[in-house]
């Protein structure tokens, strides 16, 4: 195995190990459903987005611990990571209020 292949393998293993530390795994990048936690899907978003649906923006009861129900636009409600500023979110995601009358913010893809 050449140096580049070993380096890429090491980066992949490190990424998996770090994502395993996130007990909810909501919001991690993905290409396939099997890269997400059980009960979550790999949703279309920049880089993919592991999450599951929820029913009420701003609430946490349908979402994994530490996440919040967020309007992803076009009336799609998904669990997402809370945030205070855009820097708390992944690249190509923004920090927005979870719903119009709310005070809680979460990450969602930039439209």
Question: Is 80 exceeded by the pLDDT of residue 17?
Answer: no
Name the residue with higher pLDDT: 4 or 74: 74
What pTM does this model have?
0.72
Question: Is 50 exceeded by the pLDDT of residue 98?
Answer: yes
Local structure of residue 17 (DSSP, 8 states): H
* Per-residue model confidence (pLDDT) at position 63: 94
Question: Is 60 exceeded by the pLDDT of residue 23?
Answer: no
3-state DSSP of 51-85: ECECCCCCCCCCCCCCCEEEECCCCCEEEECECCC
Mean pLDDT computed over every residue of the chain? 80
* Per-residue model confidence (pLDDT) at position 11: 38
* Per-residue model confidence (pLDDT) at position 38: 92
What is the C-alpha separation between 13 and 9, in angstroms, rounded? 6
What is the C-alpha separation between 4 and 39, in angstroms, rounded? 35
For 21-48, the DSSP string reads H-SS-TT---SSGGGSPTT-EEESSTT-
Q: Which domain holds residue 69?
A: 3-109
If one counts the domains in the chain, the total is 1
CA of residue 14 relative to chain centroid, distance: 18
Question: Is 50 exceeded by the pLDDT of residue 5?
Answer: no
Token representation of residue 105: 């913010």
Token representation of residue 102: 């709310």
At 48-83, the pLDDT tens digits run 999 999 999 999 999 999 999 998 876 789 999 999
């Amino acid at each position: 195995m050449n140096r580049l292949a070993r380096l890429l393998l090491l980066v992949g293993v490190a990424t998996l190990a770090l994502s395993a530390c996130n007990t909810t795994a909501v919001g991690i990048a993905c290409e396939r459903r099997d890269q997400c936690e059980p009960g979550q899907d790999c949703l279309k978003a920049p880089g993919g987005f592991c999450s599951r649906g929820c029913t009420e923006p701003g609430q946490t009861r349908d979402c994994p611990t530490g996440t919040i129900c967020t309007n992803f636009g076009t009336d799609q409600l998904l669990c997402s990571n809370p945030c205070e500023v855009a820097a708390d979110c992944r690249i190509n995601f923004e920090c927005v209020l979870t719903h119009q009358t709310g005070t809680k913010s979460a990450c969602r893809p930039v439209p």
